[in-house]
Amino acid sequence: MSQLTAEDFQPKNLPRLLVGLFSSYWLAMVVLIFMTLITLFGTLYQVDHGLFAAKQKYFHSWFLLHYLRDGMPLPPSLEWIGTIPLPMPGGFLLMLLLTINLSIGAIIKVRKRKKGIGMLIAHFGMIFLLVSGFVTFAFNREGYMALYEGQTGSRVESYRTWQLEILPLNEAGEADKALTIPYHDLETIREGERREFKAADLPFDIVISDYTKNAVPVPVSAPISAQATGREVGGFKLLVQKPSKEAEQNLPAVIATFRPKSGAGESVETILSARSANFDPRDGAMAFGFEIDGKRFAARMVKENWPVPFAVRLDKFIFERHPGVSMARNYESRITRIESGAERPLEIKMNEPMRYAGFTFFQESFGPANAAPGDAMYSQFAVHNNPADQWPLYSLLITTAGLMIHFGMRLFDHTSRPRRDAAAAPAGEAAAA
Amino acid sequence: MMRFFPLCLLAAATALTGCSKSKGPREITGVRELSADERKINIVESPAQRFRMPSEMAGGAGAAAAGGAGGGEAAAAGGGGALPFVWTTPEGWTQQPQAPMRDLSFAFGPNGEGECYLSRLPGAGGGLVANVNRWRGQMGLDPLTEAEIIALPKKPMFGLQGTFVDIAGTFSGMGGGPVRENYRMLGVIVSSDAGAVFVKLTGPAELVAANQTQFDAFCASLQPR
């Protein structure tokens, strides 16, 4: 960036100044240095707080405050340094600045000439990679589907978000539909707040309170209940647990009150806990049953879930252990994809996912964790619905093509120059003679 | 270019206002149709069972053995990879899956009606006197005084001398489940700065008597890893 003068800061020159600033090498250097720093600090933070919390704080943020004590032991004499908050730009802001910097500096402002076409393409590939990161951040939805052999699934469950379901029951104790209170309406309930929900279909209003991110319902008869500070409901209290650093291990709970709209009859109150759900796909969530105005209902806490536009049946789960130990050597799934009655057999292996209709099924895991050899096991697929799923590959190909063109042209220049010199030399010698 | 700035501010303010929710009741808008295999709803009346409390809290009988490891050091070590202690599983006992508030559970007896489990709690775990009397209450017995509890016999566990409880009576779990006549309970409680450890065995009196040696051996085998 050239030397700035007072004239550059005149309002009329502001656009030019901004373009100069945002396209400067200095900005690129500063952004890259901060990216290195937040990658380092985020990795250290992950040690104590887990991957999800680290991603949220350091990479899915505009700004953040970092404390040197996070993940980095300091000698007692320097512990005071660890308490000083260091303001830092977040990963989101840095990515945005880098995208702008590359777009203006390497695409718009750069002099377009034949020799620079390779670098232009390579920079375009890098910008495309950053854009794909943003699209993934904004629109990717990921969860999992777990199936035993013979089971068919068409819904994906979230790893870490829970919702409430209210189920009107028929006389057979079955439900046709579930009314859902989404996780963000639960997670935002503050201490002491009683949040009300209503639905025209229901003869009662619902009051949710005492939302706890990670809690164990304990009977008041147990001595440990003395450590539970919340209200007693039906002989139980919520014992608050420290949130796990692995966010998917948190099991939230609430106190739900079902209050008749008619005013007749008493309200029904219960604790609804994520502990009623079961991670084993053979067993669904256990529900609380109640009756209001002569009608039966059920309520339960389940993981947030969403449909895929086809069904997947697990035909065979192949699981091999290393000889003599329980460690997995190889595991893969033979599945059938079912869509509109048409069946297609497929295999999903490590690094060989199934991509279809915008969804990607990766072979992720297996269970139950304590399964002994010979026990039935389930296969777990990570399911991603990411519009930018393949964009990083495309950006890599574009960047590679750009660099190959650039270096190819440089190589051609290099190899052709000596021939010109050699061709010129005899003429010179002849002239000299 | 600057003339658009107030418009941008206005748009941002409008968007933010739109994001805030009113204080009144929120309408439930999310509705999903259940598929055929989801329609049967598993309603569980007992809250203890619904919260997956240990079977004693749920008031159920000892969990029937459903697979799991056999006895012996190797099986025990295999089942306790994440636990900070080692033990030897007695012959005839079957390790059960982990459950909330239980670090280690076993079932024994012809129908798995006897159970033994180990729990750890931070601090004193409610205190020795409260816990011994809680166990006595579950067997329908009156509480003891602190002096009587201190005078109870001791058994070795984790290299410490734990308070040993051996009581018989009518057993009822914490969740108010079925009452079981002619039951017997053996228990050892140790407390240290690291927390409290409880080992408790319950079952029909005859079955417990037949497993008393195994219980002693199990307690004595517990050692920090």
Residue A260 lies inside a defined structural domain of this protein? yes
**For chain B, give me the number of helices (H) and strands (E)?**
8, 11
**Which of A181-195, A412-426, B162-176 is predicted with the least confidence, judged by mean pLDDT?**
A412-426
- The total of structural domains in chain A comes to 3
Please give the pLDDT value at position A319.
Answer: 83
Domain CATH code at residue B76? 2.60.120.1690
Residue A27 domain-assigned? Answer: yes
Instruction: Calculate what percentage of chain A has a pLDDT beyond 70.
Output: 92
Report chain A residues whose CB lies below 8 A from the CB of B25.
196-198, 205
Mean pLDDT of A243-255: 85
Residue B40 lies in a domain: no
Q: Are residues A368 and A402 located together in one domain of the fold?
A: no
If you average pLDDT over residues A297-304, what whole number do you get? 95
pLDDT in the model for residue B63: 30
Give strand pairing partners of B195. Answer: B192
Asked if the model's pLDDT at residue B119 lies above 90, the reply is no
Co-location of A332 and A295 in the same domain = no
Mean of pLDDT over chain B? 75
Same domain, A221 and A263: yes
CA distances for B49 relative to A22, A23, A63, B57, angstroms: 61, 63, 45, 8
Looking at the structure, do residues A13 and A135 belong to the same domain, yes or no? yes
Indicate whether A246 and A314 sit together in one domain: no
> Which residues of chain A from 414 to 433 reach within 8 Å of chain B, CB to CB?
none
Stretch 174-203 of chain B: residues touching chain A, C-beta under 8 Å = 174-176
Residue B194 resides in a domain: yes
**B68–A contact, CB cutoff 8 A:** yes
Contact status, residue B191 vs residue B128, Cβ threshold 8 Å: yes
pLDDT of A13: 77
Q: Is A196 at the interface with chain B, CB within 8 A?
A: yes
Are A290 and A316 part of one and the same domain? no
Comparing A12-16, A180-184, A221-225, the range with the smallest average pLDDT is A221-225
Name the residue range of residue B163's domain.
Answer: 68-224
- Do A276 and A170 share a structural domain? yes
Over the stretch A378-408, which tens digit does the pLDDT of each residue have? 999 999 999 998 999 999 999 999 999 999 9
Any domain includes A278 = yes
Residues A168 and A297 in one domain: yes
Instruction: Give the pair of three-digit tokens for residue A75.
Output: 């000698």
Mean pLDDT of B115-120: 89
Residue B174 lies in a domain: yes
Q: Which of A326-330, B32-36, B59-63, B215-219 has the lowest mean pLDDT?
A: B59-63
The reported pLDDT for the residue numbered A208 is 96
Contact at CB, A196 and B49, closer than 8 angstroms: no
Q: Are residues A285 and A345 in the same domain?
A: no
pLDDT at B66: 27
Residues 133-152 of B with CB under 8 A from A: 134
B28 contacts in A (CB within 8 Å)?
A: 166, 179-181, 197-199, 202, 206
* Dist. CA B67–CA B203, nearest whole Å: 20
pLDDT band at B168 (very low <50, low <70, confident <90, very high): very high
Contact between B47 and A199 using a beta-carbon 8 Å cutoff: no
- Distance from A394 to chain B by nearest Cα, in Å? 34
Last residue of one domain, picked from the residues A305, A338, A368 = A305
Pick the range with the lowest mean pLDDT from A45-49, A138-142, A266-270: A45-49
- B48 inside domain: no
Q: Is the pLDDT reported for residue B21 higher than 60?
A: no
The chain-wide mean pLDDT, for chain A, equals 88
Q: Do A298 and B50 touch (CB under 8 A)?
A: no
**Cβ pairs A/B, distance under 8 A:** 133
Those residues whose C-beta lies under 8 Å from the C-beta of residue B40, and which sit 6 or more positions away, are A173, A174
Cα nearest neighbour of A273 on chain B: B51
- Residue with the larger pLDDT of the pair A182 and A427: A182
CA-nearest of A41, A48, A60, A44 to A245 is A48
Does B148 fall in a domain?
Answer: yes
Whether residue A35 is found in the same domain as residue A118 = yes
Say if B188 falls within a structural domain. yes
pLDDT for position B122: 67
Give a yes or no: residue B53 inside a domain.
no
Position B175 pLDDT exceeds 80: no
Query: Domain ends where: A276, A305, A334?
Result: A305
Nearest neighbour of A205 by CB, restricted to B25, B49, B97:
B25
Range of the domain at A346: 142-151+307-385
Pairing of strands A268-273, B160-171: unpaired
Q: What percent of chain B has pLDDT over 70?
A: 68
Report yes or no: A341 at the B interface, CB cutoff 8 Å: no
Q: Do residue A287 and residue A363 come from a single domain?
A: no
Residue A370: pLDDT band (50, 70, 90) is: low
The domain tally of chain B equals 1
- Is B76 contained in some domain? yes
Instruction: Report the residue from A181, A287, A375 with minimal CB separation from B28.
Output: A181
In a domain, A430, yes or no: no
**pTM as predicted:** 0.65
Domain contains A221:
yes
**pLDDT tens figures, A117-131:** 999 999 999 999 999
pLDDT digits (tens, 9 = 90+) for B46-88: 888 888 775 444 433 223 222 232 333 333 333 334 567 788 8
- Lowest-confidence range among A220-234, B12-26, B109-123? B12-26
* Same domain membership, residue A352 and residue A258: no
Q: What is the pLDDT of residue A324?
A: 63
ipTM, interface predicted TM-score of the complex: 0.73
Q: What is the pLDDT of residue B73?
A: 35
